[in-house]
Chain A
């Protein structure tokens, strides 16, 4: 293919306009995906990640593509601009960009089939960024760390238009103002590392908007951000869209976000679109069983688990068994090698907390709030800088874990166990599932080898895994299954307390309830108490009796979960709760957003 032809020339064979349906007198379809298939060629043959997908994007509207991991939604969005990573390749289909239907090029019939262009040609490079712009998930790695923000945003303009440096700077300033970056005059000369995650994502959006694109593809743009920042970014994308009549293709796995921003929805599963339609219709009456299940698991989450409430009726919560008394953790303090005093980072500041026997305590907070550090301090994985961790052992003795050495902790560590967040790094890839689960039993040395073996099979049964898992290695398991293995390891030495640190965050929504139900099930059978650390209010609401809200290392509010969620006392809790997207499009715009600014 000739790569030097000007981009405005229609490429490939002329495409007949077959579907000219009128929409308010004018067809507003700007991007049409027809029968798109993308394949990954592996040694086991071609695998269709995207299978015969047809979608339409309308000017000024947002199309949300929802799906769980592996549904092919990201690959689909990357196929549009032909930036699929090898060995993936677009196998069939058309992606038609109707440039004449946009405000800029109104009038002259001008339709381009993007898939006819060579992925390295000048023609497609001219389209990328100018007509179709893209925002990615990870704001930390999408910006070049060695260039100033202004230069990176400006480059997007200079690539497509001939402008002077001065003009470029002015337009960049305007863009930064548009994406609500405070003090753009200063920000333009700053480097990405001086920006927070949310600010970087704003800068990314500014880059994407540099040439007033017709279509914006946003691939999970808010997944890596905290809820409060996510809410702001969603607002921003909406308001920009209102101004510019831009079509947005929004990829997400979060039904709450969908309800917040979508006009239309396409649900993807196993590379196929199973259902498309208007956002209200789909939330109201989903047709496909998969969509129904997806929505159900979302709705199920945002309310207390009935199972848990019933269990509490039968077995009331007992006395406190793990108490954090003024726990403080400072990282990197002390003298450095030259004997100078280092100030360190105060990660947890005088946290007072108590876990009662047989209850589930949730710790919620945004990234960097110190919730994980607190969890690790309670278990004494980390040394505690100040304060006490009081653990009441089975025989009624009260131990202070804070000053103990690693050898003394061996006993308490059998009673207090952990389920880790990341199901991939928490299991040793070089050991079989049987070895992993048996490890605490082997180390304790109380059982003989055949007894341990039987116990492991019993544990596999408890967490719902087949016996055949015993000889397998972790790489043969999916994320949800690995998390079950992790749970089996945690309950192996008959513990009393389990600290689950974001145990469900890496999993799909439908898997989350499964895992949480499994934990509740185990609680009933084994008489456990849980501390669940999470950034996700819905998960906490479902699983926890009481909740502690952390902000910048301090517990700002603690109390009964429903009580705190309905009537938050602290301003930060209020802002956190107001930012959580509700999976109901009718609630859109009704909720008052509260921004929390610390007054010190």
Chain B
């Protein structure tokens, strides 16, 4: 937190940059001992907390990039059915370990003319009669034409709305294309990765919401009441932190009954993850409570006659929300990584649920590295999502308190 000493009158002068132009737009007008009625007229002077946060967040280039990528990921997750070209569980025996294809937009006709028509070149599979190894070779004469917003397999968006159109389909419904390649059952990796986005990104969000509830309640109680309660809760937090996470996850998820439905299992895994992850948030909330409790404006609210609830929710909460959002953003990638690791080890989610971790489990053997490196595409998605969330969280944390001079 900032120093509480304002006795150096030049502080506002020395560091106008850190202070942000918003706080003291121009010391010449702000420090006027002239007319007390003179008020700054800069746009920032009218801005509310969220506007100030947005102004300082926007300056953080990396965080803005992170924000865009994260939003994209969640959009992909939300509209997975529409964006995926095929049913992620539809297997196709001839296309086992089909390599990725390049999408071409310019279609050259044999007579030399050309037109814009998106397509991929067909790959013919040939099996070596002695080694039984399959090799794919490009057949320049056979093209698979693609269609934007064409009709594909019928599906239900979010399990509710019956639809047929997809973002990208083949003109001929019997043909298939594999932009990210295919796996050992000939399933389209692009569709599977898109469906995996839904599960992996949402497990982060739901898991963090659960741990946020726990963290808010326990951290809030701990910070507001202090004393013995605080002591007890903090010791519990330390105990939970001291437990090695991987064995705990392993133990708990191994204890899940095998006959549970995939959906129940999914929720059970989120609960397990958040049971371990709430401690960090509880500490953040408690810390904020402790610093805020001594602020003069909280004492002032008490003296105004506010009830305990009003002091907390009307006066203290608004100052904490931005910090909590930042912490939550930084907690999501931890969840995503945790889910991915668990599923990779085969103890988290299991097929038929598709998550990035489940997909990576397919790439566990040496053969996939040698023959089908495209099975690692979900790994790249994990990296990108986690990086983007971390950048976003860092930016939010820096912008969370637009009133302090120096972010700690």
Question: For this complex, into which size category does the number of interface residues on chain A fall?
Answer: 35 or more
Q: Which residues of B contact A472 (CB under 8 A)?
A: 39, 45-46
Q: Which residues of B contact A505 (CB under 8 A)?
A: 7
Number of A-B contacts (CB under 8 A): 175
**A214-B166 Cα distance, complex, nearest whole Å:** 80
Cross-chain contact A70 with B7 (CB below 8 angstroms): no
**A138-B8 Cα distance, complex, nearest whole Å:** 9
Q: Which residues of A contact B15 (CB under 8 A)?
A: 85
Question: For this complex, into which size category does the number of interface residues on chain B fall?
Answer: 35 or more
**A72-B15 Cα distance, complex, nearest whole Å:** 11
**A224-B310 Cα distance, complex, nearest whole Å:** 36
Is B221 an interface residue when CB atoms closer than 8 A count as contact? no
Cross-chain contact B4 with A425 (CB below 8 angstroms): yes
Is B303 an interface residue when CB atoms closer than 8 A count as contact? yes
Is A443 an interface residue when CB atoms closer than 8 A count as contact? yes
Cross-chain contact B17 with A87 (CB below 8 angstroms): yes
Cross-chain contact A508 with B13 (CB below 8 angstroms): no
Cross-chain contact B36 with A427 (CB below 8 angstroms): no
Cross-chain contact B297 with A428 (CB below 8 angstroms): yes
A 276-299 contacts with B by CB, 8 A: none
Q: Which residues of A contact B39 (CB under 8 A)?
A: 466, 468-469, 472, 476-477, 481
Cross-chain contact B31 with A425 (CB below 8 angstroms): no
Q: Given A42-B17, A427-B297, A70 and B10 touching (CB < 8 A)?
A: yes
**A471-B48 Cα distance, complex, nearest whole Å:** 10
Residue of B nearest to A473 (CB): B48
**A304-B55 Cα distance, complex, nearest whole Å:** 48
The segment out of A113-121, A342-350, A414-422, A555-563 that lies at the interface is A414-422
Q: Which residues of B contact A413 (CB under 8 A)?
A: 303-305
Could you mark each residue 415-442 of chain A with 1 if its beta carbon is under 8 Å from any beta carbon of chain B, else 0?
0011011111111111100000001100
A411 CB to closest chain B CB (Å) equals 9
Is B186 an interface residue when CB atoms closer than 8 A count as contact? no
Q: Which residues of A contact B30 (CB under 8 A)?
A: 70, 478
Q: Given A70-B30, A379-B303, A478-B31, A86 and B17 touching (CB < 8 A)?
A: yes
Cross-chain contact A44 with B25 (CB below 8 angstroms): yes
Q: Which residues of A contact B37 (CB under 8 A)?
A: 464-466
Is B266 an interface residue when CB atoms closer than 8 A count as contact? no
Is A514 an interface residue when CB atoms closer than 8 A count as contact? yes
Cross-chain contact B6 with A430 (CB below 8 angstroms): no
A539 CB to closest chain B CB (Å) equals 15
**A481-B30 Cα distance, complex, nearest whole Å:** 9
Q: Given A424-B6, A444-B305, A473-B47, A430 and B319 touching (CB < 8 A)?
A: yes
Could you mark each residue 1-42 of chain B with 1 if its beta carbon is under 8 Å from any beta carbon of chain A, else 0?
000111111111111111001110111101111001101100
B340 CB to closest chain A CB (Å) equals 38
Q: Given A422-B6, A472-B46, A476-B40, A75 and B297 touching (CB < 8 A)?
A: no
Is A101 an interface residue when CB atoms closer than 8 A count as contact? no
Q: Which residues of A contact B31 (CB under 8 A)?
A: 68-70, 478-479, 508
Q: Given A473-B48, A476-B46, A464 and B13 touching (CB < 8 A)?
A: no
B282 CB to closest chain A CB (Å) equals 20
Q: Given A43-B21, A420-B300, A49 and B4 touching (CB < 8 A)?
A: no
Residue of B nearest to A45 (CB): B21
Is A381 an interface residue when CB atoms closer than 8 A count as contact? yes
Cross-chain contact A73 with B16 (CB below 8 angstroms): no
Contact sample, A vs B, 27 pairs, CB 8 Å cutoff: A49-B13, A68-B33, A69-B12, A70-B9, A70-B13, A70-B27, A74-B13, A84-B14, A85-B14, A137-B8, A381-B299, A410-B305, A417-B303, A418-B299, A418-B303, A425-B295, A428-B315, A430-B49, A471-B46, A472-B45, A472-B46, A475-B22, A476-B39, A476-B40, A478-B31, A481-B39, A484-B36
Interface residues of B (CB under 8 A from A): 4-18, 21-23, 25-28, 30-33, 36-37, 39-40, 44-49, 52, 228, 231, 295-297, 299-307, 310, 315, 318-319, 403
